[in-house]
Amino acid sequence: MKSFEEWQEQAESIRTIDLPNAIRDCYIFPNGIHVMEDFITPHNVFKKSFSMVVVDYTVPMTTKIDHAEVSDDYYTEEGFGVPVFRGDDAMEQAFNYAKELI
């Protein structure tokens, strides 16, 4: 499997969606896992912009994931959610997590 740096050099967004205060880019990791990266710009000019990466992989809400939270804000069955990574290295953290899945 490619390293994060190798993947990042060749990564291309398969879809870009403009949201009211964010831009969402969708990617596929080398192992076939889909992710969505939201680059969020707050309406308050004094707050810093940030990235949030959602891994399209359903897990139980009780799952503990390093550097992530499990969110049920996306379409999942009750009691399940998807991993959400935040921060400057969110994409790399999501990549490392996805490598462990398959």
- Residues 6+ positions from 96 with CB-CB distance below 8 Å: 4
Q: Is residue 69 part of a domain?
A: no
Residue range of the domain that includes 52: 4-56+86-101
Q: Is residue 37 part of a domain?
A: yes
pLDDT tens for 79-97 read 999 999 999 899 999 999 9
Nearest one of 54, 39, 52 to 87, comparing CA atoms = 52
Q: Is residue 30 part of a domain?
A: yes
Q: What band does 5 get if pLDDT is binned at 50, 70 and 90? A: very high
Task: Give the integer Cα–Cα distance in Å for 41 and 97.
Answer: 25
Q: Is residue 70 part of a domain?
A: no
pLDDT tens for 50-70 read 999 999 999 999 999 999 999
CB 3 within 8 A of CB 95: no
Q: What band does 14 get if pLDDT is binned at 50, 70 and 90? A: very high
Q: How many domains does the chain have?
A: 1
Nearest one of 36, 39, 33, 45 to 101, comparing CA atoms = 33
Average pLDDT, the chain: 92
